[in-house]
Amino acid sequence: MPKRAAEEGRLYPVTLNLQGRRCLVVGGGAVALRKVHGLLEEGAHVTVVAPRVVADLEERASSDRVVLERREYRSGEAAGYALVIAATSRREVNRQAFEDGEAAGVWVNVADDPELCSFHLPARVRRGPLEIAIGSGGSAPFAVSRMRQLLEKRLGPEWADWAEAAARFREEARARSLPETARNAAFDLFFAGTVAPETLRARVPSDDERDLWLAADEAPTSGR
């Protein structure tokens, strides 16, 4: 059964595959709207339960992946979903959703209420397939949002192309059936040759560079 993140004192970072999974959002305001957007981006099927909703959320309900039910939250219904986010202005409703999730082993996040969470949503920076998550265990969201803004400015759009090139390089290394030491050496060379740590700039290597790095027999193995 999920435990409250605040009780545990530390979090185990994971990324979840929500493609096609049923998720519940309790609430109909601007915060709930943001949560719905985030879930839809990950391919989830979202049910929104709220007696009143903002216009943009009602418009979203026209999607075949959003079901809008204009009513109060019903005790126990969190058990029917893979993930629950509560974002109402009534703490008693949020608490009910959280406790229902706890009882059913369902992960629940209550917006802006770390004590009523079994997981927290990090701020994210995305560049193509590259994703960087930043969190504070719910204790300092203002700092997390500013860290995200900092990284958004520092990590240019070229990181998306770089991440795709890194994925192709990994596949090439696997296709050659390189032993682990040679494979890790090639990965080190790729990273050192394409990333400037001081400026946080990245580039896509040439074909000749990739071939050279994959052919290297010996190199330091400090990373993956």
pLDDT digits (tens, 9 = 90+) for 88-105: 999 999 999 999 999 999
Confidence (pLDDT) at 63: 78
Over residues 167-211, the pLDDT tens digits come to 999 999 999 999 999 999 999 999 999 999 999 999 999 999 999
pLDDT category at 137 given cuts 50, 70, 90 is confident
Q: According to the model, what pLDDT value does residue 198 have?
A: 96
pLDDT in tens, 100-136: 999 999 999 999 999 999 999 999 999 999 999 999 8
Please state, in angstroms and as integers, the Cα–Cα distance from residue 31 to each residue in 7, 34, 36, 54, 85, following that order. Answer: 25, 5, 9, 10, 10
What is the model's pTM?
A: 0.82
Given pLDDT bands bounded at 50, 70 and 90, which one contains residue 217? low
The 10s digit of each residue's pLDDT in 12-59 is 889 999 999 999 999 999 999 999 999 999 999 999 999 999 999 999
Over residues 143-153, the pLDDT tens digits come to 999 999 999 99
